[in-house]
Amino acid sequence: MTTTLIDEPVLATRKVHIETWGCQMNVADSEKMLGLLQGQNYQLVDTPEQADLIVLNTCHIREKSTHKIMSRLGVLKELKLTNRGLKIAVTGCVAQAEGEKLLKRAPTIDLLMGPGKIDELPRLLEEVKETHRPAVALGFISGRGDHTHETPEEIAKSQAAAFEECQHPVPSLVGRNEISRFVTIQQGCNNFCTFCVVPFTRGKEISVKPPIVMAKVRSFLQQGAKEITLLGQNVNSYGLDLVENGRLTPTADGPFVDLLRELCTIPELARVRLITSNPHDFTFPLAQLFASEPKMGKYFHLPVQSGSDVILEKMKRKVTAADYLRRVQWLRDAVPDMALSTDLIVGFPGESDADFDATLSLVEQVRYHFLYAFGYSPRKHTAAVRFKDVVPEAVKTKRLAALNALQDQITVEINEATIGKTHKVLFLYPSKKKPDCFYGRNAQFQLVQVESKASLVGQELDVCITEANKTALVGTLV
């Protein structure tokens, strides 16, 4: 007997458009939201004009990010004139930091949700539909979800739920694909660096328990992922909260190295990457792990922020430039061709020409593969907003240009030195513009472009480098 689908009720598909600002953690959060929305019969669309629901997942790290959201809301508001059912959600760090004040500034918002409340998204949408008023969920993650499981039965249950969650992969957001997946291992930050809003937008550090991380990783690998990037604001301090409250007993290497070592035993996993970290919590055993575990690759992002001890002290980074350079040395002793990248802030209050010169000389000494440099942006709630000796914008701009010019020169030198050498490359995605062209990354995280008739995605192959520029290496398959 054959069955027909004709008489089955057809559920109208709703359409969601998601715009994501900020760090990789926000990308991972957008993916989580999309997963929940797919469960509510939503389908992802590319443009806001096609959508019944627009999600702006926001970042609060610099002043400009909030301005961008406000002007974006001004544009999107117009769409409500022609699409009366359209709902606009503001989520992420601006939502959390600005709270309900945002509803007054932008009455077009229908849903306001902080990053600690993502699980509530389906309920909030229902609330908007029923009440025709803005629905609001703010606040940090509190003993719920992945984070508090005491008995073995509870852990097994949430492990199964975590595995299941990752079995419904969402379409690629911001150019990523199924070969490389993000797994958030920690929320929040306890550090309160004097320039930074993150502790105010994401709360204190809460680590996801190792069995839950493992379940998510295994689930992604089962669907074909090869590379996993573990996310946290300060991954180096992963698990210290679990140790403190008696939920985890680490080895002498500490809970983060224990987790990484366990991950590296999974045969299907080709590479582990980490984003992002504070050098204060970077340990010697972690540096040594890079030497013993090839899956860790030969690349690490270690934000320094400044090369001047005076400024580092004012930033409350808890390390000096010498402490930082010692960690760099640990890494390079473990892996001599270790590639490093960093974040730097220029024009922090009180930064003199001599302080800035110290930053330039640190960059020359470390020879990063690349770096992200930002002009200091004063943020509400943070200590530095009250600091005197504000650096004029024109000086910040000049320093940023000098720093970027120095780094560009170093990056080109490092990239050109790869010409003629063979590198193992994990291919991640096809080029959107050029046909028969694929992009991957080598162990040092350098972007490598190769032409091929057959798809290379998901394969780890030897590539001989033939050309190099500031952004990528070009090569041919060996």
Please give the residue ranges that form the binding site for ligand SAH (CB under 6 A).
Answer: 61-62, 195-196, 198, 233-234, 276, 278, 303, 305, 343, 345, 374, 376-377, 379
Question: Cα torsion at 413, 414, 417, 418 (round to 10°)?
Answer: -140
Asked if 191 is part of the footprint of ligand SF4 (rule: CB under 6 A), the reply reads: yes
Taking the complex as a whole, how short is the minimal distance between the CB of residue 311 and ligand SAH, in angstroms? 12
Binding residues for ligand SF4 restricted to 262-321, rule: CB under 6 A:
278
**180 or 191: CB nearest ligand SF4:** 191
**Omega into 249 within 30° of 0, i.e. cis?**
no
Taking the complex as a whole, how short is the minimal distance between the CB of residue 188 and ligand SF4, in angstroms? 8
* Cα–Cα distance for residue pair 377/64, rounded to 1 Å: 8
Single-letter amino acid code for the residue at 234? N
Asked if 198 is part of the footprint of ligand SF4 (rule: CB under 6 A), the reply reads: yes
Binding residues for ligand SF4 restricted to 240-259, rule: CB under 6 A:
none
Question: Cα torsion at 426, 430, 432, 433 (round to 10°)?
Answer: 100
Binding residues for ligand F3S restricted to 168-207, rule: CB under 6 A:
197-198, 201-202
**295 or 301: CB nearest ligand F3S:** 301
For 241, the enclosing helix (H) or strand (E) is helix 240-244
Token match 């939503």: residue? 42
Could you give phi then psi for residue 39, rounded to 5 degrees?
A: -65, -20
**209 or 301: CB nearest ligand SAH:** 301
3-state DSSP assignment of residue 342: strand
* Cα–Cα distance for residue pair 395/397, rounded to 1 Å: 5
Could you give phi then psi for residue 442, rounded to 5 degrees?
A: -90, -175
Asked if 189 is part of the footprint of ligand SF4 (rule: CB under 6 A), the reply reads: yes
Question: How many residues comprise the chain?
Answer: 478
Which residues, in sequence order, are CB contacts of 373 under 8 Å at separation 6+? 343, 344, 345, 346, 400, 403, 404, 407
Are 341 and 370 in contact, with CB atoms under 8 Å apart? yes
Which positions from 367 to 386 touch ligand F3S by CB under 6 A, shown as an x/- string?
--------------------
Q: Which of 409, 407, 419, 406 is nearest to 448 (CA)?
A: 419
Taking the complex as a whole, how short is the minimal distance between the CB of residue 20 and ligand F3S, in angstroms? 9
**189 or 242: CB nearest ligand SF4:** 189
* Cα–Cα distance for residue pair 370/261, rounded to 1 Å: 27
Asked if 27 is part of the footprint of ligand SF4 (rule: CB under 6 A), the reply reads: no
Which residues face 54 on adjacent strands? 17, 88
Out of ligand SF4, ligand SAH, ligand F3S, none, what residue 192 binds, judged by CB under 5 to 8 A for its kind, is: ligand SF4
Which stretch, 55-63, 129-137, 238-246, 406-414, contacts ligand F3S (CB under 6 A)?
Answer: 55-63
**58 or 108: CB nearest ligand SAH:** 58
For 397, the enclosing helix (H) or strand (E) is helix 393-416
Out of ligand F3S, ligand SAH, ligand SF4, none, what residue 202 binds, judged by CB under 5 to 8 A for its kind, is: ligand F3S
Binding residues for ligand F3S restricted to 14-33, rule: CB under 6 A:
22-23, 25-26
List the one residue from 61, 228, 240, 328 that touches ligand F3S (CB under 6 A).
Answer: 61
For 93, the enclosing helix (H) or strand (E) is helix 93-98
**How many C-beta neighbours within 10 Å does residue 360 have?**
16
**23 or 395: CB nearest ligand F3S:** 23
**108 or 341: CB nearest ligand SAH:** 341
Taking the complex as a whole, how short is the minimal distance between the CB of residue 346 and ligand SAH, in angstroms? 9
For 45, the enclosing helix (H) or strand (E) is none
Name the site residues for ligand F3S (rule: CB under 6 A). 22-23, 25-26, 59-61, 92-93, 197-198, 201-202
Name the site residues for ligand SF4 (rule: CB under 6 A). 189, 191-193, 196, 198-199, 233-234, 278
